[in-house]
Amino acid sequence: MPSAKFAKRKFVSVDPLKCTGCGICEYTCSQEKGEALWNPLHSRIRVVRMKPLFNFALACRACEDAKCVAACPEKALSQHEETGLLIVSEKKCKGCDWCVQACPHGGIAIHSDTGLAAACDLCSGEPQCVEFCPEEALVLVATDEEAEKLMSDTIAKLPEETERITNIVKNKDWKPILADAEKRSEKVSEKLEALSKKGKTKKSK
């Protein structure tokens, strides 16, 4: 169901069962915003790597009850009336970090160069991180329930995955895992090549 407060609410969520922690979403975001080529420090989506079994990405959820907006002492944050996406007033924001501390989802950060708050804006409705994710681990969802289900499903399967990896190590059965790694590497290589071409095209314009 769509959000009651924001009729067109959507945000990027992650399926941790698919996420490998490759970081391409961060590179893509930093390039798309034109701030720096492949610099994860400038990304509006952040990868969390909890090795070896659990990786996921965090981005702004366009919350109905946005704690970051309420916490800002300068009233520098507001939300789009239809999408709920964060709007940062560059004139008002002082980079105090209160919004970062208030966010329960890790979806907002202080830009390392500008010192201002920055959050996902969905790339005008076509988030590039979703497009370039080699494992298709990133998806657009409309509710917190959808996002939480992706996370809870992964947590439920962690014991099974732990046992699988333990057996691989015990039995030294490397062939299947190496074949899987090779396939993943091919996907990453393809996406990086496409991302590089896009960056060059963007630079030439």
**93-146 pLDDT, tens per residue?**
999 999 999 999 999 999 988 999 999 999 989 999 999 999 999 999 999 999
Classify residue 82: in a domain, yes or no.
no
Question: Where does 41-199 show beta strands of DSSP type E?
Answer: 46-50, 54-58, 77-79, 86-88, 108-110, 117-119, 138-141
Report the domain count for the chain: 1
Domain hosting residue 54, numbered range: 11-59+120-204
Q: Reduce the DSSP state of residue 170 to 3 states and report it.
A: helix
In a domain, 17, yes or no: yes
Residue 92 lies in a domain: no
Q: DSSP assignment, residue 122?
A: G
CA 16 to chain centre: 11
In a domain, 22, yes or no: yes
In angstroms, the CA 143 to CA 141 distance is: 6
What global pTM score does this model have? 0.88
Domain assignment present for residue 1? The answer is: no
Domain-located, residue 112: no
Q: Is 33 a domain residue?
A: yes
Domain assignment of residue 152, yes or no: yes
> pLDDT tens track of the chain, all 205 residues?
444 789 999 999 999 999 999 999 999 999 998 766 678 888 999 999 987 678 999 999 999 999 999 999 999 999 999 999 999 999 999 999 999 999 999 999 999 889 999 999 999 899 999 999 999 999 999 999 999 999 999 999 999 988 988 898 899 988 888 898 899 999 999 999 998 888 777 766 6
